[in-house]
């Protein structure tokens, strides 16, 4: 289960990649914009300000997240839906998936499916965390492998589910898109608190499957404490803060554009209702 309040603890740090991603989308007059895995919807709401004439749809498989998004009072249509079975409509001109695809095994095939169904000139903008080899995830795997946890917790941890910028670029150029792919490491400076801030961060995302298997009782408390010690060693507090480097992978692609063309160019013969060159 996703808990919107826990997820929103680091809203500022989690929102920034979304804005950096959307800044690279050149659509001017999209008809429909779909935010897949929209979470609590606060970032989706900013899309309605960027494209006030578009129909903006936020989809998420978590009823808790969609309920929270519905309380924003924004003009966005929020609905519970599974991205794995979602398919673009003929008027879907922009698709956004920010911090979603790492939860969907085999998502490269899903991307190819969406790209086949999107109209020419549509934009797809994706960000995934590229930190599965970071000390935070290594600490999680190390604690999960201890005798007390290895049978229940270790099987719940995923192998690195994301590709590289080059890997995604190959998928997208192979589907005939113009591509802009990059990676960034953000240096988050998280304030120290009662709970180690990296542990508090992970509670909102990577630790969800662990909590789901351990429940809310003493096992979860013990695991939480052990991981907290491991994280405190990996991310020491200095001057009241913890340095938490976070690598993220981005790509923005435009369908039907020749691979040699820049992502902002208009594909030949495109429909005038499609987004135009920025």
Residue 74 interacting with ligand SAM (CB under 6 A): no
Helix, strand and coil content of the chain, in percent to the nearest 5, comes to 35, 20, 40
The interface mask with ligand SAM, positions 79-98, x = CB under 6 A, is ---xxx-------------x
Q: Judged by CB under 6 A, how many residues of this single chain contact ligand SAM? A: 20
CA–CA distance, 197 with 189 (Å, rounded to integer): 10
Q: How many Cβ atoms sit within 10 Å of the Cβ of residue 215? A: 9
CA angle 11, 22, 70 (to 5 degrees): 50
CA–CA distance, 45 with 74 (Å, rounded to integer): 6
201 to 240, contacts with ligand SAM by CB under 6 A?
205
Minimum Å distance from CB 61 to ligand SAM? Answer: 4
Residue from 2, 51, 123, 223 that binds ligand SAM (CB under 6 A)? 2
Stretch of 33-41, 71-79, 115-123, 135-143 lying at the interface with ligand SAM (CB under 6 A): 33-41
Using CB positions, name the residue nearest to ligand SAM: 39
Nearer to ligand SAM, 103 or 182 (CB): 103
> 161 and 105 in contact (C-beta within 8 Å)?
yes
Nearest to 257 by CA among 169, 175, 170, 166: 175
Residue 255 interacting with ligand SAM (CB under 6 A): no
The interface mask with ligand SAM, positions 53-72, x = CB under 6 A, is -------xxx--x-------
Helix (H) or strand (E) holding 172: helix 165-174
Q: Which residues bind ligand SAM (CB under 6 A)?
A: 2, 14, 18, 37-39, 43, 60-62, 65, 82-84, 98-100, 103-104, 205
């Amino acid at each position: 289960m996703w808990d919107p309040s826990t997820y929103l603890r680091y809203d500022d740090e989690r929102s920034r990649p979304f804005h950096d991603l959307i800044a690279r989308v050149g659509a001017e007059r999209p008809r429909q914009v779909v935010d897949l895995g929209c979470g609590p919807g606060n970032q989706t709401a900013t899309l309605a300000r960027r494209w006030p004439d578009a129909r903006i749809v936020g989809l998420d498989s978590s009823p808790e997240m969609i309920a929270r998004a519905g309380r924003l009072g924004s003009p966005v249509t929020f609905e519970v839906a599974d991205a794995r079975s979602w398919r673009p409509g003929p008027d879907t001109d922009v698709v956004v998936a920010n911090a979603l695809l790492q939860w969907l095994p085999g998502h490269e095939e899903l991307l190819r499916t969406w790209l086949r169904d999107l109209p020419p000139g549509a934009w797809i903008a994706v960000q995934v965390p590229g930190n599965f080899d970071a000390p935070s995830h290594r600490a999680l795997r190390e604690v999960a492998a201890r005798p007390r946890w290895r049978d229940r917790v270790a099987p719940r941890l995923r192998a690195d589910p994301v590709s590289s910028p080059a890997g995604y670029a190959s998928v997208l150029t192979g589907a005939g898109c113009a591509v802009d792919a990059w990676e960034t490491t953000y240096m988050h400076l998280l304030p120290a608190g009662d709970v180690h801030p990296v542990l508090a961060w992970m509670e909102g995302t990577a630790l969800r499957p662990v909590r789901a298997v351990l429940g809310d009782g003493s096992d979860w408390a013990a695991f939480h404490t052990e991981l907290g010690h491991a994280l405190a060693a990996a991310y020491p507090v200095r001057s009241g803060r913890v340095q938490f480097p976070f690598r993220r992978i981005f790509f923005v692609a435009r369908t039907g554009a020749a691979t040699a063309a820049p992502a902002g160019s208009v594909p030949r013969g495109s429909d005038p209702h499609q987004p135009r060159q920025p």
